[in-house]
Chain A
Amino acid sequence: MGDDGALRARPGIVWIASYPRSGNTWIRIVLNRLLLPRHEWQDDLDQLIGGDGHSGDRSLFDGVVGVDAAELDADVSDSLRPRVYETLARESTGTRLVKVHDAYRLTSSGEPLFPASATRCVIHAVRDPRDVAVSLAHFFAMTMDEAVNCICDPKQTIDGTPGRLDRQLPQRLFDWSGHATSWLSCPLPRLTVRFEDMLADPFTTFRRVARFAEIPSPTSHFIPTIEASEFSRLQNMEEKTPLREKPHSAGRFFRRGRSGSWRDALNTTQVIRIIEAHGDVMKSLGYLEERQGTGAS
Chain B
Amino acid sequence: MASVESPPPREVGSIARLHHNYRVFGLIIGSHLELPELASITKALPDVLVTVGGVPRRLDHPSAAGPLWEVDDEHFLLRIPGVAAYLVTGGRTVTIEPHAGVVPGDVRLYLLGTALGALLHQRRMLPLHAATALVKGRAVAFAGESGAGKSTLVAHLGERGYPILSDDVTVVTLGRHRRPVAHAGVRLIKLWADALQFLGCDSRGLLRDHSGLQKFHLPINGLDPAVSFPLREVYVLTDGPEVTLRRLSGLQSVAALARNTYRLRIGRALGSTPSHFEVCTRISQTASVKIVRRPRTVESIPELLDRLETEWGTTGR
Contacts and interface: CB of A to CB of B under 8 A. Distances in A.
B297 interface: yes
A144 B194 CA distance: 28
A74 B81 CA distance: 12
Interface string A61-73: 0111111111111
Interface in A248-289: 248
A165 B241 CA distance: 19
Interface in A66-86: 66-74, 76, 80, 83-84
A59 B143 CA distance: 13
Contact of A71 (B110, B147, B264, B265): B110
Contact of A66 (B69, B146, B210): B69
A83 B68 CA distance: 10
A163 B212 contact: no
A162 interface: yes
A167 B265 CA distance: 20
Given A71-B113, A76-B81, A165 B67 contact: no
A65 B296 contact: no
B32 interface: no
B82 A76 contact: yes
B239 interface: yes
Nearest to B239: A244
Given A76-B82, A163-B193, A62 B67 contact: no
Contacts of B67: 64-65, 80, 83-84
A261 to B, nearest CB: 27
B266 A66 contact: yes
Contact of A67 (B110, B193, B213, B296): B110
B263 interface: yes
B96 to A, nearest CB: 15
Interface string A167-179: 1000000000000
A77 to B, nearest CB: 10
A248 B295 contact: yes
B114 interface: yes
A68 B209 CA distance: 12
B261 to A, nearest CB: 10
Contact of A73 (B69, B82, B146, B197): B82
Nearest to A247: B296
A72 B110 CA distance: 9
B109 interface: yes
Contacts of A84: 67
Contacts of A164: 192-195
A74 B213 CA distance: 10
Contacts of A71: 109-110, 113, 209-210
A166 B147 CA distance: 6
A67 B241 contact: no
Contacts of B296: 167, 248
B4 interface: no
A28 interface: no
A58 interface: yes
A80 B295 CA distance: 30
- Name the residue among A72, A83, A165, A248 with the largest chain B CB count within 10 angstroms: A165
B147 A66 contact: no
A53 interface: no
- Name the residue among A68, A80, A242 with the largest chain B CB count within 10 angstroms: A68
Contacts of B212: 73-74
Contacts of B194: 163-164
A163 B192 contact: yes
Interface string A35-72: 00000000000000000000000110011111111111
Contacts of A58: 145-147
Interface string A206-239: 0000000000000000000000000000000000
Nearest to B144: A59
Contacts of B297: 248
Contacts of A59: 145-146
Contacts of A242: 241
Contacts of A166: 147
Contact of A62 (B145, B193, B210, B214): B145
A66 B193 contact: no
A182 to B, nearest CB: 24
A84 B265 CA distance: 13
A246 to B, nearest CB: 9
A194 B240 CA distance: 32
Nearest to B81: A76
Contact of B146 (A64, A70, A83): A70
A83 B297 CA distance: 31
Given A58-B146, A64-B67, A66-B263, 10 more contacts: A64-B66, A66-B266, A67-B68, A71-B113, A76-B81, A163-B192, A165-B147, A166-B147, A167-B296, A248-B239
Q: Which 3 A-B pairs have the closest CB atoms?
A: A165-B147, A83-B67, A163-B194
Interface of B: 66-69, 78, 80-82, 109-110, 113-114, 145-147, 192-195, 197, 209-210, 212-215, 239-241, 263-266, 295-297
